[in-house]
Amino acid sequence: MRPKVEYIMVLRRKDKRRYLLLFVNYEKYVDSKNLNNKDIPKSIAILRKRFYELFGSIELEKASINIIVKNNLCLPNFYIIKCNLESMEKVLCAISLSYPPLTTIKISGTIKKLTSQLQFKNMQKICN
């Protein structure tokens, strides 16, 4: 006789994230605000719009592009955003095809590693 097999629901783990340090090349877009959401800088809203145009709304939700640090880096043209690891290539594509141009400075799995790198410390010394 075969034993009875019970199926147990397995909770899904959290998605792996990647954090990106972005540089906005044009200062006029840094402090501009989106009319729909005042917490999102215009350059990040443009990035989301470009991602939507390229890959659609379902992929935009899967990517879950969110801003983490805004203007707290002592350099006003730098932002830290997070996205899903599976959507990383698509996010980088949208970043490279966005206007105004955004530049990816560093990619990391944790915010701590992203901000504690030697390059980032050197940029902070210049600002102070």
| 112 phi, psi to nearest 5 deg | -60, -45
> What is the reported pTM?
0.71
Res 28 pLDDT > 60: no
pLDDT at 37: 47
**pLDDT tens, 69-100?**
654 555 667 788 999 999 999 999 999 998 87
Res 3 pLDDT > 90: no
pLDDT at 125: 58
Q: In sequence order, which ranges of 1-128 are alpha helices (DSSP H)?
A: 42-55, 57-63, 88-96, 111-115, 118-127
pLDDT at 41: 75
Instruction: Provide the Cα torsion 85, 48, 120, 68; round to 10°.
Output: -80
Res 34 pLDDT > 60: no
Considering the domain 17-127 in this protein, what is its CATH number? 3.30.70.3250
Q: Which residue has the higher pLDDT, 91 or 101?
A: 91
Determine the 3-state secondary structure of 41 from DSSP.
strand
pLDDT at 36: 46
Report the mean per-residue pLDDT for the chain: 77
Res 52 pLDDT > 50: yes
CA 119 – CA 35 distance, rounded (Å): 34
Per domain, the residue ranges of the chain are: 17-127
